[in-house]
Amino acid sequence: MRLIRTITAVTLSLALILSSMTSLQAAPARIKDIVDMEGVRENQLVGYGLVVGLNGTGDSLNNSPFTKQSLQSMLERLGVNTQGENVRTANVAAVMVTANLPPFSTQGSRMDVSVAALGDADSLQGGTLLVTPLLGADGEVYAIAQGPVLINGFSAQGDAASVISGVPTTGRISSGALIEREIDFHLGSQHSLRLALRNPDLTTARRIALAVNDFIGAPTAVPEDPATVRLTLPRNFNGNIVDLLTDIEQLIVQTDQTAKIVIDENSGIIVMGKDVRVSSVAVAQSNLTVTIAENPEVVQPNPLTLGQTAVEPNTNLNVNQSDTALQVVNESVTLQQLVDGLNALGISPRDLIAILQAIKATGALQAEIEVL
């Protein structure tokens, strides 16, 4: 009996350990956090306008003729004729205004807009954007923007020095656009809808469909490809597509991903996925450093001679080569073991990028390398 109890306790302990390890390795997420719904999307808007009220930091009208033309056209619409006049104001800047129209936005609601200088303005600090229509890709006006521009930087200068903090030629207007046109899309009247995975994967798409069908109790979801799961409203469902989405968006799905290594060569950043594996390989790495320093010397002529002062070059050249012995990176089972094996080489991230690419070339790296 004692032996049976001991075996039972050990079995339960192992089961608990394995279950905890499985939960640590899994990557569960809600369906609403890993998919986008068809038709539920933002729309980009753009417009051209004028920012006024700048303290002499606007466009120089001689170098920005479009600013001068826009200013004259605006004044003419307001009943001020400046044709043929020499306008030399420096308090106006031409800007591009951009915004993202939120989904299901209604007439009269507001949204934020971003403003960026188009000419040679030095700063948009203290400026006010005049009425600017914001157009969609179809050329229709969907919003009107206007208001004071808030920037995150500043610029100041004197006769012999200047300082610039941040980017003073870009800014933002909080709730600066008034929505005038709605996008005609009725989600509640749909009987079929597609869910688009933000990270396409066949396994994840199938798991989403299985989770939805198990919850509804009917073949409601069908995976069409790695990035799409089609959702169909069941005939006996008590509600519309919005009710169905509300019911399933909280379902937990264990996501999956391909083994990938992302490398940014400009900054030396390396990001590895948890499924990256490497076979046993031997790696050796050598660094060669060449230092050249110029220390020119001034040579004076002897007294009472006709010689001239000259500069004689003096170059110090130093070559330093450090070799690393051949190191073995054992076959890894987990990402931590792979990282520990690579860190044991004592190399910099720049050298690690070249080593990973070389290991991939030998076929010992079971992962995809993506270079940004």
Q: Can you give the pLDDT at residue 309? A: 81
What is the reported pLDDT for 8? 43
Residues 92 and 167: their CA atoms lie apart, in Å, by 18
Q: Tell me: do 245 and 153 sit in the same domain.
A: no
Residue 300's CB is within 10 A of a number of other CB atoms, namely 9
Q: How far is the first Cα of the chain from the last one, in angstroms, to the nearest whole number?
A: 63
276 part of a folded domain: yes
Q: Residue 54 contacts by C-beta under 8 Å, 6 or more apart in sequence? A: 90, 91, 92, 93, 121, 123, 124, 125, 126, 127
Task: Please tell me whether residues 219 and 347 are part of one structural domain.
Answer: no
Please say whether the beta carbons of 216 and 234 come within 8 A: yes
Q: Is residue 31 part of a domain?
A: no
Are 290 and 175 contained in the same domain?
A: no
Higher pLDDT, residue 274 or 179: 179
pLDDT digits (tens, 9 = 90+) for 217-255: 888 999 999 999 999 988 888 888 888 888 898 999 998
Nearest of 143, 136, 142, 242 to residue 187 by alpha carbon: 242
**Residues 113, 212 within the same domain:** no
**Whole-Å CA distances, 329 to 163, 283, 346, 352:** 50, 7, 12, 13
Question: What are the C-alpha distances in Å from 273 to residues 2, 203, 331, 337?
Answer: 45, 16, 16, 13
What is the full DSSP assignment across 296-314? -EEEPPPTTSS---EEE--
Residues 62 and 290: beta-carbon distance below 8 Å:
no
- Output the pLDDT for position 285: 63
- Alpha carbon distance 141, 341 (integer Å): 58
Q: For residue 264, give the amino acid letter.
A: D
Kindly report each contact of residues 302-309 with a partner whose C-beta sits within 8 Å and lies 24 or more positions away, as own/partner.
Answer: none
What's the domain count of the chain?
Answer: 3
Domain annotation covers residue 207: yes
Residues 145, 240: Cα–Cα separation, whole Å = 36
Element (H, E) at 230: strand 228-232
Same domain for 175 and 58, yes or no, is yes
On whether both 51 and 169 belong to a single domain, the answer is: yes
- Which of 126, 160, 179 corresponds to the end of one domain? 179
| Domain extent at residue 224 | 186-254
What per-residue confidence (pLDDT) applies to 292? Answer: 58
Say yes or no to pLDDT of 348 above 90: no
Residue 124 lies in a domain: yes
| High-pLDDT (> 90) share of the chain, % | 30
For residue 328, what pLDDT is reported?
62
- Determine the 3-state secondary structure of 322 from DSSP: strand
Q: What pLDDT score does 140 carry?
A: 93
The last residue of a domain, from among 152, 179, 206: 179
CA gap 195, 39 in Å, rounded: 10
Contact 150, 176 (CB under 8 A): no
Q: How many whole angstroms separate alpha carbon 335 and alpha carbon 365? A: 12
State yes or no: pLDDT of 150 exceeds 50.
Answer: yes
Pair (207, 134) in one structural domain: no
Most confident of 59-73, 89-103, 253-267: 89-103
Q: For residues 228 and 182, what is the distance between their CA atoms, to the nearest angstrom?
A: 27
CA distance linking residue 4 with residue 10, whole number of Å: 10
Give residue 304's region: left, alpha or beta (phi > 0; psi -120 to 50): left
200 within 8 A of 260, measured Cβ to Cβ: no
